[in-house]
Amino acid sequence: MPLLAVAFSLFVTVQDARAREGVDVGNTSSFAKLVPAEQVERSAAQQYLQMLTQADAKRALAPKDNAQVLRLRAIAQKIIPFALEWNPRARNWQWEVNLIGSSQINAYCMPGGKIAFYTGILEQLRLTDDEVAMVMGHEIAHALREHARERMGKSAVTHGAARIGGALAASFFGIDPRLTDGIASGGANLLTLEFGREDESEADLVGMELAARAGFDPRAGVTLWQKMGAASKGAPPQWLSTHPSGKTRIAEIQANLPKVMPLYERARAR
């Protein structure tokens, strides 16, 4: 390729990067690459189905014509098209949204787009559609940014380092494939996997952008976490166990609102 063409290509690439609107959370962690995505998603699908089966046996699985189920699926339908930019694998995910009857203030999105809400988070917090979108966007962001896969990768490094020496943790070479395969195929409970504070902050911002692009008011993030804080009464609910709501979290959302408000305003104008 001629030098001028190369220079032009680089210029266009830089301009495209600068032109992107929204939040900036950096690249996906390299730890995620240590565990096969296909196996993580397959394990997630199996665990999700098991959870649904158990809920159905207890008559806790809301039927597909339930008003809240229809509401959740309508919100998801608006958000999901904007998820593809964050992770190309999401294009082939078999997305699901279900509602479980439980007093827990909880929701999640497992790898592969398996979403579940508990009635407790909807009823106890009296969430608006904008606030539901913020919760859903946050959980979808965990899946898109492959935080579960990252956690598994870190676990594989820890186990590998213990087995063949500390140099592994620095180099990422020589990991026994059986370690990562075992962890991905069932060594981690994806329903209860906890994320770190950095993952939670990242999910807040990416989720806020997803919701804004889908036409939901990102300012609802502030009211959502205020409600979470009031509901926790000093002890964070399960959903916030690793990153409790507070002034710092709300301040970070407010600081990033100027980056996503134009996206929301254009979406509303469509």
pLDDT higher than threshold 50 for residue 142:
yes
Any domain includes 2? no
Task: Find the mean pLDDT for residues 96-122.
Answer: 95
Any domain includes 228? yes
Could you report the per-residue pLDDT of 172-190, keeping only the tens digit for each?
A: 333 344 444 444 444 455 5
Any domain includes 206? yes
Number of domains making up the chain: 1
Distance CA(249)–CA(16), nearest Å, equals 30
Any domain includes 133? yes
Any domain includes 178? yes
**Residue 146 among the catalytic residues:** no
Among the listed residues 41, 139, 146, 150, the single catalytic one is 139
CA angle 31, 36, 40 (to 5 degrees): 100
Confidence of residue 105 (pLDDT cuts 50, 70, 90): very high
Mean pLDDT over the full length of the chain: 79
Any domain includes 144? yes
Q: Where are the alpha helices (DSSP H) in the chain?
A: 3-19, 37-57, 67-79, 119-125, 129-144, 147-164, 167-171, 177-182, 197-213, 220-232, 247-269
Could you report the per-residue pLDDT of 51-61, keeping only the tens digit for each?
A: 999 999 999 99
Query: Tokens 């690459």 belong to which residue?
Result: 33
Which residues constitute the domain of residue 58?
Answer: 28-269
Any domain includes 20? no
Could you report the per-residue pLDDT of 225-261, keeping only the tens digit for each?
A: 889 888 877 555 554 555 544 677 889 999 999 999 9
Any domain includes 6? no
CB atoms within 10 A of CB 142: 23
Could you report the per-residue pLDDT of 10-29, keeping only the tens digit for each?
A: 444 444 444 678 888 777 76
Pairing label, strands 107-110, 114-118: antiparallel
